[in-house]
Amino acid sequence: MEPIAYINIEERKLEWATPIKWETPTVVVMGRVPLYTKKEWVGLTDAEIKDILDCGRGGLVDIKKAEQKLKEKNSE
Q: Are 53 and 62 in contact (CB under 8 A)?
A: yes
If pLDDT is split at 50, 70 and 90, which confidence band does 33 have? low
- The number of domains in the chain is 1
* Predicted pLDDT of residue 25: 65
Question: Residue 53: which domain range?
Answer: 5-74
Q: Which of 16-20, 28-32, 40-44 has the lowest mean pLDDT?
A: 28-32
Res 10: pLDDT: 81
Q: What is the pLDDT of residue 58?
A: 66
The reported pLDDT for the residue numbered 26 is: 65
